[in-house]
Amino acid sequence: MDKIDQKILGLLQEDATLSTSEIAERVGLSTTPCWRRIQILEQEGYITKRVALVNREHINVSLDVFVAVKTNQHNFDWLDEFAKIVSSFPEVVELYRMSGDIDYLMRVVVPDMAAYDTFYKELIRSVKLTDVSSSFAMERIKYTTALPLDYALPEEKNRRKRT
């Protein structure tokens, strides 16, 4: 990963619809070498997927709910079942296993409080939990899907890591 690769990734994170020639021009390459770099970034797993970001208000899911879950079940069978059940809810857009006071944290997107209540009732009906605590986001101050690229390993460290 060199600075040009970082620039390519930065551009694609901001707008995956850019043509290869537009990206090449912005990073100072001709089209073919730029296309080759993008292909390598995909093959090596730096680029895992290209998606469209949808306007949440247009599809009526503007409420973010952060749901903290505690359980007294700490075994692989329960975790596997919990992950399957939670993953089946389209409202759950993120799920994390946590350290500290809570066991799992999820971000749920819904239109309103009534929709969240319906989700909540279905969740607690589907899986045994010790405690569920919900926090409602009042304002989204910063949101991005772009990852910071300043921490990417330099090319020579990547090469050593791969061998």
For the packed helices 31-43 and 20-27, what is the interaxial angle rounded to 10 degrees? 100
pLDDT in tens, 17-74: 999 999 999 999 999 999 999 999 999 999 999 999 999 999 999 999 999 999 999 9
- What is the structure's pLDDT at 152? 87
Tally: H helices and E strands in the chain: 6, 4
- What is the structure's pLDDT at 10? 97
Which residues are CB-neighbours of 32 under 8 A, at least 6 positions away? none
Contact in structure between 65 and 134 (CB atoms under 8 Å)? yes
For residues 1 and 79, the model is more confident at 79
Give me the chain's average pLDDT, please.
93
What predicted TM-score, i.e. pTM, was given to this entire model? 0.85
Split at pLDDT 50, 70, 90, the class of 1 is confident
Split at pLDDT 50, 70, 90, the class of 156 is low
Which residues are CB-neighbours of 147 under 8 A, at least 6 positions away? 13
pLDDT in tens, 80-93: 999 999 999 999 99
Site of tokens 């694609």:
12
Domains of the chain with CATH codes: 1-53 (1.10.10.10), 63-136 (3.30.70.920)
- What is the structure's pLDDT at 100? 95
pLDDT in tens, 100-146: 999 999 999 999 999 999 999 999 999 999 999 999 999 999 999 99
Residue 163 has pLDDT above 50, yes or no: no
